[in-house]
Structure 1
Amino acid sequence: MPHFFLNKRLIILLIGIIILVSLIGFSLRDRDNISRPEQFVKDVVGFGQSLVAKPAHKIAGFFGDMKELQNTYTENKKLKVRLEDVARLEKENVELKKENAELREALDKKESLRDFTPIQATVISRTPDRWYERIIIDKGKKSGIKPDMAVITSKGLVGRVISTSEMTSTIELLSSDNTKNRVAAFIQAKSSVHGLIAGYDRDKKMLLMKDLPIDEEKIKKGQSVKTSGLGGIFPKGLDIGTVEEIVLDQFGLSQTAYIKPSAEFYDFEHVMVVARSMHTGDNKEEE
């Protein structure tokens, strides 16, 4: 009896499979019309798919948007870093161009220094309490630098050495308030007019050339002013500046010329210390 029921169940299962396959084959045929049960099943399945598909698409879209937002954020961070790098490189490029121009001008100037020996140096600091008066360079006694040597940039005279160590030197600028910081100079006119650079006007940012004869009418605005070499310290012919204005002194006994400096006193990095090749005379006007 049990074997009969087992065979009966097997027969029912096989008949069910045959009917299912037949229905599947029937439903897969190309037909213009489908039966109502098929319509019902398709409608139910389609409705179920729509219920599942819409939330699924929204969830997928949400995670897709989040991923895209994360990618955008990452790209923005990378772009910001690149922009910062570009800005840094541009700044470095400007500084390098400026330094290159200074060095090129210094090399050109070096070729024309026939009366003295130039020593190339770099500014390493400025004295904090005398920012506009003194600088320190990276060359000293070991490089042959001595006190009272002239210091120039590619533009012109900026000061003189006042003290040295083995590896560094302190330079007093022409813009210093030190009244003893004097330079023998001359104005290039039809015939040279000699005087002393002795002082600096902070307001006008000009050097003062004092003790000029009052009857010297040949002094004109725009004439060049150079070191005369008569003091026995500075070589002759170092560029100082140009005449900007002529005024009488307070007693009316001499004239003072306001000299626009050729060199910049506050914005330079490279200098040359110049040692005279020959000393002519013992009389020293610069102190």
Structure 2
Amino acid sequence: MFKWLGNKRLIILMAGVIFFVALMGFTFGGRGAMSWPEGLLKDTVTFVQGWLNKPARAVAGFFEDVRRISVLYEENRQMKLTLTQYAKDTARLNDLEAQNNRLKDALGFTERQQQSNKYRYRIAEVYASSPDPLNSTIVINLGEKDGIKANMAVMSVEGLIGRIVDVSPFYSNVQLITDLDSSSTKALAVTVKGKDNASFGILEGYDRDKGLLVMNKIPKTDNLTAGDVIITSGVGQLFPRGIEIGEVVSRDEGEFGITHTALIKPFASFNHLREVFVIEVPEL
């Protein structure tokens, strides 16, 4: 109670002083100079006013800083959102551009292939693939409803990749040629492009360390050489004739010296398959 009265008296006193100084300024405003009591009083009042204004200016400055920080924070947040959206749009655009280029390649591929043979090429997307390098199987988004059957050959734009082994109504499993072995169900009869009647061999293995297919049972008199292009021969009717597989890297004598062995670099990249083609051979 007394403290409040004391503060009230101080406020009344200061208001009176300010009023008195203002009155003196109005009364003696026309004089050129102040007397020393007037100057002292004016300086005192000015000092008190400055002392009282400091907290007010500090508070005002604090709230102004808070406002500026809030504005900067919002601008920074909006900028981050814009950059994030830009990155997403750029990634989406790049993906669409890459897909468009792949589809253009696919269209050009089917047109070129249909000029060289009478096969029908059904484009499919790779739906799933195993990260296990020993599991040489992929899943495509074509199935029985699309007329897909077991043992149909499958290739990419680059070359042969495998054959259909399991079919469901909407999907099919493709066994890659990297899973070849000497069993009759997996071995692949091949020949050399341009030397169809002079060269013959069997693809029945894959060197995972080198990333090369193994071609065996090559006759010693066969004129197969490095750089030759290996294609399917059509023998056994498991794969249609004339599908490119890869290029001969080297040729060596076989284990018992009766036949020769060659290493083939496949044209297809098995680690980045996106779109593939199921080959339909017209019935005779």
How high is the TM-score relative to the length of structure 2?
0.80
1:182 counterpart = 2:183? no
Residue pairs, 1:254-265, within 5 angstroms: 254-265=259-270
Amino acid at match of 2:169: E
Deviations 1:221-261 (A, max 9, x none): 22211222233242322221111121222112211211111
Cα 1:21/1:63, change in 2 over 3 Å: closer
After TM superposition, give the deviation of residue 178 of structure 1 in Å: 4.8
Q: Indicate the residue corresponding to 1:163 in structure 2.
A: 166
Q: Indicate the residue corresponding to 1:75 in structure 2.
A: 75
- Measured on the aligned residues, the alpha-carbon RMSD in Å equals 2.7
Amino acid at match of 1:124: Y
Secondary structure of the equivalent of 2:145?
Answer: helix
Secondary structure of the equivalent of 1:203?
Answer: coil
Decide whether the 8 Å contact of 2:21 with 2:42 is kept in 1: no
After TM superposition, give the deviation of residue 101 of structure 1 in Å: 2.3
Decide whether the 8 Å contact of 2:180 with 2:204 is kept in 1: no
Q: Distance in 1 between matches of 2:280 and 2:168?
A: 17
Q: Distance in 2 between matches of 1:69 and 1:20?
A: 41
After TM superposition, give the deviation of residue 107 of structure 1 in Å: 1.0
Deviations 1:54-89 (A, max 9, x none): 333333323322332333333333333333333333
Structure 2 residue runs without a partner (length 5+): 1-19
1:102 counterpart = 2:107? no
Cα 1:40/1:20, change in 2 over 3 Å: closer
Q: Indicate the residue corresponding to 2:137 in structure 1.
A: 134
Residue pairs, 1:1-287, within 5 angstroms: 23=24, 25-29=26-30, 31-114=31-114, 115-126=118-129, 132-176=135-179, 178-179=181-182, 180-188=185-193, 192-216=198-222, 218-278=223-283
Deviates more, 1:252-261 or 1:227-236: 227-236
Decide whether the 8 Å contact of 1:132 with 1:175 is kept in 2: no
Q: Distance in 1 between matches of 2:215 and 2:283?
A: 26
Amino acid at match of 2:177: L
Structure 1 residue runs without a partner (length 5+): 1-18, 280-287
After TM superposition, give the deviation of residue 189 of structure 1 in Å: 5.7
Decide whether the 8 Å contact of 2:121 with 2:280 is kept in 1: yes
Q: Distance in 1 between matches of 2:205 and 2:68?
A: 68
Q: Distance in 1 between matches of 2:145 and 2:273?
A: 23
Q: Distance in 1 between matches of 2:226 and 2:21?
A: 115
Decide whether the 8 Å contact of 1:125 with 1:136 is kept in 2: yes
After TM superposition, give the deviation of residue 21 of structure 1 in Å: 9.8
Secondary structure of the equivalent of 2:179?
Answer: coil
Secondary structure of the equivalent of 1:212?
Answer: strand
